[in-house]
Amino acid sequence: MGEDVLTAFGFTIKGEAFDYVWVWYTVLFAIGCCLLSILGSVWCLNHIRFATGGSLGGIEDTAKDSDEKEESTLEMKGATITFKNINYLVQASTTKEKLHLLKDISGYFPAGKMTALMGSSGAGKTTLMDVLSLRKASGEVTGDVRINGHPQESNSFRRMTGYVEQFDVQSPQLTVRETVEFSAKMRLDESIPIEEKIKFVDHVLAMLELDNIGGFIVGSDTGGLSFEQKKRLSIAVELASNPQAIFLDEPTSGLDARAASIVMRSLRRIADSGIAVVATIHQPSVAIFNSFDSLLLLKRGGETVFFGDLGKESFNLIEYLECYSSTTPIKGGENPATWMLTTIGAGSAGSGSDDLDYAKAYANSALSKDCLEKIDSMNEGVTEEGRITFPTKYATSSRYQIREVYKRQSKVYWRSPGYNRVRLLVSGIVALLFGSVFASQRVPENESDMVSRSRKNDEAKFLRFLLLTTVCLACFAELSSYVNLYHCALPRC
């Protein structure tokens, strides 16, 4: 029987089936193919692989300065953001009353400076940043926000700013460089040559000390980049759009002292390039707190307690709070951030002084009046040169976006062998299910055969329905992950 099968499939020599010795020939052929594959893999791993330049640890010591590479002609320009009497109200979930989350908050974020937003939990730090960056789609917002003295315009403002969320949402299958390059291609103007975009990406990677790990896969929680490196990658993705201002939601949370210092050093480079940096900070160390140029301090209920320059080693903040007799003086070596939160009743040590409402004291202070006067002076005598506008809502056309997203998704699928194997397995199982329906099917000869065939057609339709439902659910899950990944990569309506 075996000889008949070999003859039927053409495995013959001079009309006779192959001998048993051909079994060993096939084994030797398989061994030869394996050896060639192993040798080819070894050669490729030694000659065609990403140049890492060093280990994952300690890369900050070997990072190259941006001036050692070919400079990009794209200039980083900053913008000054002023806001006056910002109020934010939302509808309560259980009653018809409106909750007043932000109350008459005023201040400014100057270009080239780092501003910290601080306060206790529920004080409205992130809420204020979301309101100013136009990320709140519900609620009632009142107040005046201006960019270089010009009124805030939604589409232009979204294109000129970057927003770094607390937790990174980068694709784990891409490398660091590919992730940043994708952001630059999608968010820089389409008229800019691709070579210029690549140079700008090199500049961004060097600024954030990511150039030495540009070929590393981002990876997931079980492997890949560290949490601190992913945090810097998230900043690089937003910086690749060449924003005039960048907002960061707790960039140092979850990091140890060394990792936090690397992130803060990167933020200082960004601010020194002329970009306005605004970040919410929770329980910072002395070194991190003193890295900021100015501070906006809020108390629970969304009221301002302090706004202004921190001064050297927080001298201005300490001097302002200690001018009130009810304030407990700061002790030698004490963290100014912890001391100020405890003083206003927002710290973990207690509720501070009950004799003084620091929010009301600030509203009637000379510091508050100076802030309002400075805002008015910034908004006076504005010129058209400071107006930031864009002719289109998006930096690139729909065709360009579809092409780049297709390239990116192709890389993601190619680097997801497990997912591809499952898809092949599911396709095989589905094919067997459809084939089993008609396995015993023969040409109908009478009415009974026709009824049987009709029933089997109904079974096939039911299987098609199950398959279509499964495919739709899989596509919806994939679409949801894509939307979550890139919901902030492009301006929103």
Give tens-digit pLDDT for 71-85: 666 777 888 899 999
Can you spell out the DSSP letters for 21-83?
HHHHHHHHHHHHHHHHHHHHHHHHHHHSS----S-STTGGGTPPPGGGSPPPSPPP----EEE
The whole-number pLDDT of residue 154 equals 84
The whole-number pLDDT of residue 65 equals 47
* Contact of 84 with 144, CB cutoff 8 Å: yes
Beta strands at 114-119 and 98-109: parallel, antiparallel or unpaired: unpaired
Classified as helix, coil or strand, 90 is strand
Please give the backbone phi and psi of residue 102, each rounded to the nearest 5 degrees, phi first.
-125, 135
The whole-number pLDDT of residue 219 equals 84
The model's pLDDT over 29-51, given as tens digits with 9 standing for 90+, comes to 899 999 999 998 888 877 765 44
* Contact of 444 with 453, CB cutoff 8 Å: yes
Task: Report the distance separating Cα 271 and Cα 277, nearest Å.
Answer: 6
The whole-number pLDDT of residue 493 equals 39
Residue 217, token pair as written in the block? 């896969």
According to CATH, the topology of domain 81-386 is Rossmann fold (3.40.50)
Q: How far apart are the first and last CA of the chain?
A: 72
pTM assigned to the model: 0.73
The whole-number pLDDT of residue 113 equals 92
Neighbours of 458 (CB within 10 A): 11
Collect the ranges in the chain with pLDDT lower than 70: 1-15, 17-18, 48-73, 346-355, 434, 437-468, 470-493
Please give the backbone phi and psi of residue 290, each rounded to the nearest 5 degrees, phi first.
-75, -5
Residue 460, token pair as written in the block? 């096939």
The amino acid occupying position 302 is G
For the chain, the structural domain boundaries read: 2-47, 81-386, 416-486
The whole-number pLDDT of residue 9 equals 57
Neighbours of 214 (CB within 10 A): 21
Please give the backbone phi and psi of residue 293, each rounded to the nearest 5 degrees, phi first.
-85, -35
